[in-house]
Amino acid sequence: MKTDTSTRRRRFNAGTAGAVVLGIIVLLTLLAPVLAPHDPLAQDLAHTNAAPGEHGYLLGTDQLGRDLLSRLLYGAQTPLLVGVLAVLCGGVFGTALGLLSGYARGWADQLLSRLADIQLALPAILLALLILTFGGQSTAVLVLVIALTGWPAYFRLVRSRVLALRTSAYVEASRLQGAPAHWIILRDLLPGVRGLIAVTATLDLSRAVLMEAGLSYLGLGAQAPAADWGLMVAEGQGRLLSSWWIAVLPGLCLVALVISANLLGEHLSRRKDTGGEPRRALSRISRTRTRSAA
Amino acid sequence: MLRFVLRRLGLTLVAVWGALSAVFLVLHSSGNPAVMMAPVGASEEQIAALGRALGYDRPLAEQYVTFFGDALRGQFPDSLTFQQPALTVVTDRLPATLTLAATALVLACVVAAAVGLWSGAGVLRGRRPGAAREWPMGLVFLAQSVPGFFIGVLLVWIFGVRLQWLPTSGASGAGALVLPAITLACGVVPPLARVFRNSLTGELARPYTRTGLALGMRRGRVLRHAAHGSMLPTVTVLGLEAGALLGGTVIVENVFSWPGVGQLVITALQNEDYPLVLADLTFLITAFVVVNLVVDLLYGVLDPRVRHSNGGH
Amino acid sequence: MASATPTAPDPGGPPLLEVAGLHVAFDGTPAVRDATWSVRAGEIVGLVGESGSGKSATGLAVLGLHGPAAEVTGSVRLSGQELVGADEAALRAIRGRRVAMVFQDALDALNPYRRVGDQIAEAYRLHHPDAGRAEARERAVEMLARTGIDRPEERAREYPHQFSGGMRQRVMIALALVNEPELIIADEPTTALDATVQAQVLERLVELQREMGLAVVLITHDFGVVERVCHRVVVMYRGRVVEQGTAAAVLAGGRHPYTRALVASVPSTDDEPGSRLPTVPEVVRGLLGEVDGETLADPSLRVPDGAVGLPAAARETTGPGRTGAGRGTPTPADESAGPGDGAATAAVTGGVDRADAAGASDAAAGDGAPAGDGVSAPGGSGDRAGDGPATAAVTAEGGRADAAGATGAGAQGSALADAGDGGAVAASTPAPLLSITDLHVSYPGRFGRRTTAVRGVSFGIAPGETFGLVGESGSGKSTVSRVVAGLYRPDSGQVLFRGEDIGGAGRRGRRKPVTGIQMVFQDPYASLNPDRTIGDTIGAGLRFHPTFASLSRGKRRERVAALLTEVGLDPDLADAYPGRLSGGMRQRVGIARALAPEPELLIADEPVSALDVSVQAQVLNLLADLQRDRGLAMLFISHDLTVVRHMATRVAVMRAGEIVEIGDRDQIMERPADDYTRALLEASHSVRRTAA
Amino acid sequence: VGTGTAATRATDSSVVIGLSAAVNTLDPMNTTSVGSDLSVLSSVYSSLVTRRPDLTIGPDAATSWDRVEPDRWRFRLNEKAAFADGTPLDADVVVWNVERLTDQDNGLRMTSNFASLLRAEKVDDHTVDLVTDGPDADLLGALSFLYLLSPDWTEDHDPATATMGSGPYEITDYAAGGNVELRARDDYWGTAPDIDRVTYRITPSEAARVSGLLSGELDVVAGLDPQDLERLRTDRALEVQQSDTTRMAFIKLNTLKGPMKDVRVRRAVNYAVDKESIATSLLGGTVAPSPGQLLTSDYAGYSDDTSGYPYDPEKAEELLAEAGYGSGNPLRVELTVPSGQYVAGDLIAQAVTQQLSEVGVRARINSVPFTVYMQKYLVDQDMSDMQYITQAWPTLAAGGLYNLFVSDSPYAYWKDAEFTDAVTRARTETDQDERDALYADAAERARAQAPVLFLFPQPGIAASSDGLDWQARPDDWVRPAEMSWKGND
Ligand SMILES: Nc1ncnc2c1ncn2[C@@H]1O[C@H](COP(=O)(O)OP(=O)(O)OP(=O)(O)O)[C@@H](O)[C@H]1O
Ligand SMILES: Nc1ncnc2c1ncn2[C@@H]1O[C@H](COP(=O)(O)OP(=O)(O)OP(=O)(O)O)[C@@H](O)[C@H]1O
Ligand SMILES: [Mg+2]
Ligand SMILES: [Mg+2]
């Protein structure tokens, strides 16, 4: 079907664009120590709120005279680190539970499904606020909170796919061959959800980044004086009147990061093998939570 | 049908119960709430007395039971910062949040419907999805990638500060509603528009669309039938979004100083106003769950197949 | 069969619809090429051809229902009015009013969210803008009544999903007829239906056609349907009209080899049971050479040329797709139907369905002996003997293999067939391999209720015997097979395999399936894990088998290669993923997988119903050959009586979870005791392949 | 009546006041938040005396007063004074209110501000005596916070959620935490205010407050961020007022444990911070660094004699080296700051840590919600090494603020006998000069011992619509009764 090929090609380009931008952001973040013209924390109190280009600051300075360009370069560290770790934790946890729950069924499945329901009944942002306020703030807690609000997406997707697959002819064939449960889960079911997980994880990454930014914005994520995009927007929003760049530039960086992750995820999810399922499910699950987070 | 309703109701109660238990546990895992609640400078004895008065010295299990007993009757201790029943504080703020959320929801529905129908009409004309004509979807995609708080900040900057067209804070007058409602809607439009568009184009790809055309229907009529068919997933997402909307108010109300429950919950958390946090969260969670229950029940109305199969879908 | 014999219309009348030089292409890929045919008023024209031959594309082109993605050129005239390139408004006036369409799957073709009465009324009002709601409703009810729906008033208020498949199709017809069009294009209106229902719907369609003087274009790939209802037939092959003419003439011996091949590859009640079926590619290839000099999209349809460098011995016995070898040895097989030879014979024919292309084409050419198989090659059997347990098992049960062989041999002549059948039955009675007694199975339903799918089923299968299970959809056939395979636990009843109860009724938890029973699944696309290589899929059966588990990697690969060869596939496919394979090839992989643990009982649950007619014959041949070759017992499930008759020696007929009749094949086919069996028989319309 | 937009407003004579914090309770005895709760309630309730915009004490419900004995003050009440429901505001009312306030069991937050007050005694219907446990020079200042409730009304109303006062306004709309609307009472017994309608709009976000001002949504906002000064000044429809407040900003050092026990370290950090440049860059030059004082010049008892710690990083490093810290053994400290609580507080804390790092001090910022901060500070008595805070004593008595630094104060984290002694003696000293001398001693002791990192007074920036006549106050009060529209009598 040529129709498919040509549309896929076009999407592929958008997907590649996403991957490239994402790659660039990651690269810039990794190379920040080399590339940044200034220490992201160094203040120049004589030149606070400098406009882009003023006093030799390419993108201007913030209220404390810190170089915005340097801060932007460092600013993705926390979101990316927290995002990737949270996606890993949530993804592994959700996928493992989804596989087991979907294959084994029974009361454990019921229990976990209810748990996921409950998890969904708590708007993610509220849960995160609650835990961060009463459980203390640290990167580890942040990762856990974001992972905690992310696992139901994987769990539900994987579980529903596994529910469909477990009675599929090829799984039944494996059972007839005498394959043990763990083998079926690892060799028959896991490959079947691989694509699904890849897409979910990519889209979940954008959710995690958005949530980290949202929490940092509310003062519960990264802490001053750290350079963190979400925090920088919060710090700069009071200065919109006179120095818009302090808030707007990090905001735009955040948008670029999220867009690229989304583009990539979109692209992956449009590929045949995942049948657009994760997008749909995510729009039911994580997207809504991302929204509430941001 | 009745059994279906009861089953959903049961699940709903389980979800509410679980969510509240989670809140309860998180709050109690952080130590004796009386310490936080005692006024500044309170002595050990005063804290202990307060703890006794509120029952925090009793076994956790017992407190848990009391908490649920009270919560069921809508009873929470007095808010520490407001010195009045926590639930009253919440319900006082409710109209503001509901106004905002309802406006945003209506706005989001209108936009999502427009975007979806635009795409649907394109598909019906044989255009491939993703083509340039689908620029509204591109905008939706963009909106989905911008953090809500940043949208708010941008809107304040552009319309409030630069152009000075619209008020940027407070709940006074219809004008003040515009920017927060748009910001809040921005969070809901993407999932809604996507789901509506995708299911609409999905419905259009189904053979009954071809049947309609083969019978001599106009495209508009075919589109209408397909839109009817895509209501089910759309309403599902709408339900979830209505809940997410409540979560979204947390940020939007803060950006725009909108005096609703969302702002309240942040203040309560910051002030460690334990009873108020409980009441507020209980309320938000219940609202979320109820909205989704309503959505579940709507399924039957929307899709005859659900109605006749007595549930399970 | 209560066939509504078509009454031929006036042959001299002017054509109602004239299709001339029609081209349809999708993104430059042609789907219909230079098609020219016509329909006269009151005439039923069958548009036949295998899947993908462009039948639907033609039908849609008539009403301009293709999207802009399709390029449509040529000419379609309705009473002289040109429709290709006509504007929307003009087309809208014709659609549904003068020309209506009936689509295949009525559940999807009807709007699931609206009451059927409303849908029909809406269709009416589309072309009768002056008609009031009440009038349109009345009209809808009237149409429902006319298409044979009981209590039409009530049912008009129901939704499509509340109708059975056949009812839906009637609604679809009502929808098409409500504006009394001149022409109906019915695109496979009955393909998804059960045989009995299919007959009813077709009958009703023909009645209405006669009452209303309609012209009908009936798109189908079923020659049985063509034979029963069509006046004329248009045969399409790969986008082209390769033949047209009166139904009788085409079926009796079409001029085009493709037509003949298609007709021949369908099992027929006139065939000798168990005979080899000629397959389309062989026939086409044999008579036509490379079609249009182009490569076919479906690799399973491809006839590779030249032999591949396999050892001569292997080539003879296996020769999968290596037709060079197979074709080279078309030895007549009439000599040896003797005891002990049955296995050998089977071994040679095993999987080599293409190998005997010449023989098959002979058959198609009309020499009256379509079963030109049994390429006897004693040397081959020696080779196989070295292959291991498979052959050993067969030899050990020589007596029964004998019986199977006799069945196979029945192909050679009817005189022998009787004896063979008798032998098979006799052999199965004393020591059944599988014996099921009073099986009850239920599924969990909604709200904790359980729905019973199988009640009180009992039967036995002797070693080496093919036992057929027929019945309409939902009668519980698959449920029985799943219980036998150990995939589902029955509520009660005994499932004795080799004397051991494997049913596990009443126990909890999942039970471990017995490797001695393997299964070939219905849907070749769902039965292979797309993420695992074919070799891995097949090899897993060895890995977990008590005796083969100890095999080294290399040995396992070898066995996998041998299995692939045995089912007629290139052993190199072991490293491929299923994505590349066609349906037919996948089904062969599925069969190889089932064979890997050396089962004694093979369950084939509708192994061909998802396959194209042109591939069906290949798979049926392969199964029959393997069964004979390996002395397998087989539980063969189908809803198609002709297929079951072709494969099985004993048959059970199921209905609503119970066995209504069980017995010897011929007894069931010729002297059915049960009404339901008779209805099934009547509905199963197969082509009477009367000699030309 | 003027013209233009101001005129439109003037005719309906209403103002919209932007508040940065919500009004949490309506019980004036159970809150100490001057900027929000009390600012609103001071328009609804009256007190015996009131502090005027120039910070002097003036009459309210009491027309005159004198000290009949060192520990007994006599107040004569305005005979017209009455509550909105007509109940007269008489001596019984005062006695009841003092009883309510002094009863520890009521757990009212205001109680601790009246530590010396023993009781009220009715002399006649319109005369009442207040008795203290000793001479208290600051009593009048404190009494400007004693808002009087009606005893009868309180019996069947909850003062936390409803009001019925004797002040110039009544509340027409209030939901917990939401906007508050006031309307001038027709039957107010005192001078009728100019402004009829007042809306307090809760606007926690600085950006929203500023844009609200610029767009004309808000008429009055106090407590603005100095960095917005420039932008606000360019707007001709606004009048910007800038002053020092009575609130002193400093960084408290925990002298009880950790590195800050060492006075050399405390002095070192004082020398290490460039207060001047912080004041210039972050506070728009609106304030001058404090000369090493805990008080602003508005306090009675302020001493002009002290000199502060100039910016001298070398000296700081020297002192640190003396105390044993250097590159091999850097000083590590934690600086806690209540997020968003104080004007530019978060920025100042960041600037301070950065400057400390330049002399080799590794300071880590711990930004926490205010309540958490207060919890650690006062309840847990677990203050970190350094903590940003601003303090003021509402009554503007030196003794009041200094009392927060005496050895047994939970606020102090500093046990200094000399300072405590001077302050304690000053409080009971009746001779003005003696008292000033004692306070000067205390100030010098505090400077030398450096229990805090001295910064500057918190800047007070207020902006109002150009047409509004209003004098911004150095304390936190925002009172609509003190406002009027120009050209509107
Ligand atoms: N919308 C389309 N886009 C691209 N290719 C198409 C489209 N519809 C049909 N085709 C291609 O055109 C060819 C003819 O398809 P068509 O549906 O007419 O076959 P058919 O004879 O009806 O087969 P079947 O019996 O399976 O219905 C096929 O190769 C098919 O893949
Ligand atoms: N997993 C299941 N859960 C619930 N009901 C089932 C399940 N599988 C089958 N059934 C029901 O059991 C009955 C028998 O089904 P089964 O699949 O055995 O029929 P079948 O004869 O194989 O039909 P077909 O020809 O359509 O394959 C049907 O009514 C079906 O709806
Ligand atoms: Mg077709
Ligand atoms: Mg079946």
Which residue in A has a C-alpha nearest to residue C514's C-alpha? Answer: A176
- Quickly tell me which residue has 């069906």 as its tokens: C616
Cβ-Cβ contacts under 8 Å, C175 against chain B = 211, 215
d(CA D107, CA A57): 55
Nearest residue to A148 via CA among A188, A84, A90, A72: A90
Minimal CA separation from D182 to chain A, in Å: 29
C688 near A CB under 8 A: no
Model pLDDT for residues A70-120, shown as the tens digit of each residue:
999 998 888 899 999 999 999 999 999 999 988 888 778 878 887 787 677
- What is the Cα D183 distance to its own chain's centre? 26
Whether A241 sits inside 8 A of D278 (CB atoms) is no
Ligand 1 interacting residues, C-beta cut-off 6 A: A 1, 3; C 26, 31, 49, 51-57, 69, 221
Minimal CA separation from B207 to chain C, in Å: 5
Identify the helix (H) or strand (E) that includes residue B286.
helix B274-302
Touch of C by D (3+ CB pairs closer than 8 Å): no
pLDDT at residue D251 greater than cutoff 90: yes
CA dihedral of residues D235, D239, D245, D249 (deg, nearest 10): -10
Domain B100-270 belongs to what architecture?
Orthogonal Bundle (1.10)
d(CA A64, CA D355): 12
Backbone phi, psi, residue D347, to 5°: -70, -45
Cβ atoms B115, B136 nearer than 8 A: yes
* Cβ count within 10 A of residue B25: 12
Type of residue found at B103: T
Whether A45 sits inside 8 A of D231 (CB atoms) is no
> What's the confidence (pLDDT) of residue C279?
66
Most confident of B34-43, B112-121, C667-676: B112-121
Model pLDDT for residues B230-258, shown as the tens digit of each residue:
887 788 777 777 767 877 888 888 888 78
- Quickly tell me which residue has 């004569």 as its tokens: D76
Please tell me the least confidently modeled range out of B9-13, D255-259, D427-431: B9-13
Counting one residue from B and one from C, how many pairs have CB atoms under 8 Å apart?
Answer: 83
B205 near A CB under 8 A: no
Q: Out of A45, A219, A237, whose CB is closest to D207?
A: A237
> What's the confidence (pLDDT) of residue C685?
57
**How many CA atoms within 13 Å lie on the side-chain side of D209?**
25
Cβ atoms C641, C684 nearer than 8 A: yes
C370 versus D151: the higher-pLDDT residue is: D151
DSSP label of D113 = G
Counting one residue from B and one from D, how many pairs have CB atoms under 8 Å apart?
Answer: 123
B220 near C CB under 8 A: no
Mean pLDDT over residues B125-150, rounded?
Answer: 76
Which stretches of chain A sit within 8 Å of chain D by CB? 41-43, 45-46, 48-49, 63-65, 133, 219, 223-225, 235, 237-242
Domain boundaries, chain B: 2-73, 100-270
> What's the confidence (pLDDT) of residue B306?
59
Mean pLDDT over residues D473-477, rounded?
Answer: 80
D362 near A CB under 8 A: no
Residue C474 Cβ contacting ligand 2 at under 6 Å: yes
* CATH class (in words) of the domain with range C431-437+461-683: alpha beta
Rounded (5°) CA angle C197-C200-C206: 140
Residue B55 confidence class, pLDDT cut points 50, 70, 90? low
pLDDT at residue D74 greater than cutoff 60: yes
The mean pLDDT value of chain B amounts to: 77
Q: Which residue lies with its CA nearest to atom 2 of ligand 2?
A: C443
Cβ atoms D355, D385 nearer than 8 A: no
pLDDT at residue D48 greater than cutoff 90: yes
DSSP label of D88 = B
Helix axes C389-396, C398-409, angle to 10 degrees: 90
Mean pLDDT by 10 residues, chain C (692 residues): 49 81 86 90 88 86 83 90 88 90 80 89 90 91 88 89 83 89 88 76 86 89 81 86 84 71 69 67 51 38 33 32 32 32 32 33 33 32 33 32 34 33 41 87 74 90 91 86 88 86 66 81 84 88 82 88 88 84 85 90 86 78 87 89 86 90 86 84 59 34
> What's the confidence (pLDDT) of residue C409?
34
A292 near B CB under 8 A: yes
* Cβ count within 10 A of residue C385: 16
Cβ atoms D182, D479 nearer than 8 A: no
> Which two structure tokens, joined as six digits, stand for C654?
């199921």
d(CA D245, CA D456): 10
Cβ atoms C74, C275 nearer than 8 A: no
d(CA B280, CA A185): 42
Q: Out of A121, A134, A135, whose CB is closest to B289?
A: A121
> Which two structure tokens, joined as six digits, stand for D391?
């303090």
Q: Which chains neighbour D (Cβ–Cβ under 8 Å, 3 or more pairs)?
A: A, B
Cβ atoms C333, C374 nearer than 8 A: yes
Question: Strand C232-237 and strand C44-48: pairing?
Answer: parallel
Please tell me the least confidently modeled range out of B294-308, C372-386, D202-216: C372-386
Whether D211 sits inside 8 A of B161 (CB atoms) is yes
Cβ atoms B247, A125 nearer than 8 A: yes
Domains and CATH numbers, chain A: 2-30+76-293 (1.10.3720.10)
Residue C537 Cβ contacting ligand 2 at under 6 Å: no
Cβ-Cβ contacts under 8 Å, D374 against chain B = 40
d(CA C364, CA C372): 10
d(CA D75, CA C276): 122
d(CA C182, CA C99): 6
Model pLDDT for residues D167-186, shown as the tens digit of each residue:
999 999 887 777 899 999 98
pLDDT at residue A141 greater than cutoff 90: no
Residue B36 confidence class, pLDDT cut points 50, 70, 90? low
Residue C649 Cβ contacting ligand 2 at under 6 Å: no
Atom of ligand 1 nearest to the CA of C297: 29
> What's the confidence (pLDDT) of residue C430?
52
* Cβ count within 10 A of residue D69: 11
* CA D119–ligand 3 middle distance (angstroms): 99
> What's the confidence (pLDDT) of residue A250?
92
Q: Which residue lies with its CA nearest to atom 4 of ligand 1?
A: C26
Cβ-Cβ contacts under 8 Å, A115 against chain B = 18
> What's the confidence (pLDDT) of residue A292?
32
Identify the helix (H) or strand (E) that includes residue C24.
strand C15-26
Q: Which chains neighbour A (Cβ–Cβ under 8 Å, 3 or more pairs)?
A: B, C, D
Nearest residue to B267 via CA among D205, A257, D410, A2: D205
Complex prediction ipTM:
0.73
Cβ atoms C627, C646 nearer than 8 A: no
C531 versus A28: the higher-pLDDT residue is: A28
Residue C475 Cβ contacting ligand 2 at under 6 Å: yes
Q: Which residue lies with its CA nearest to atom 25 of ligand 1?
A: C51
> What's the confidence (pLDDT) of residue D149?
93
Cβ neighbors of D221 (< 8 A, separation 6 or more) are D17, D18, D203, D209, D210, D212, D213, D462, D463, D464
Helices (H), C451-505: 477-485
Rounded (5°) CA angle C318-C323-C327: 100
Mean pLDDT over residues B26-45, rounded?
Answer: 60
Whether B84 sits inside 8 A of D160 (CB atoms) is yes
Whether C175 sits inside 8 A of B215 (CB atoms) is yes
d(CA C431, CA C87): 73
> What's the confidence (pLDDT) of residue D488?
59
Please tell me the least confidently modeled range out of B22-36, B266-280, C372-386, D274-288: C372-386
Strands (E), D340-451: 361-368, 386-391
Cβ atoms C633, C464 nearer than 8 A: yes
CA dihedral of residues D221, D223, D225, D230 (deg, nearest 10): 50
Q: Out of C485, C515, C540, whose CB is closest to A174?
A: C540
Type of residue found at D117: L
Cβ atoms B211, C175 nearer than 8 A: yes
> Which two structure tokens, joined as six digits, stand for C653?
């007929």
Q: Which chains neighbour C (Cβ–Cβ under 8 Å, 3 or more pairs)?
A: A, B
> Which two structure tokens, joined as six digits, stand for C93?
């006036």
Please tell me the least confidently modeled range out of A65-79, A204-218, B266-280: B266-280
Domain boundaries, chain C: 103-180, 431-437+461-683
Cβ atoms C46, C233 nearer than 8 A: yes
> What's the confidence (pLDDT) of residue C295?
36
pLDDT at residue D76 greater than cutoff 90: yes
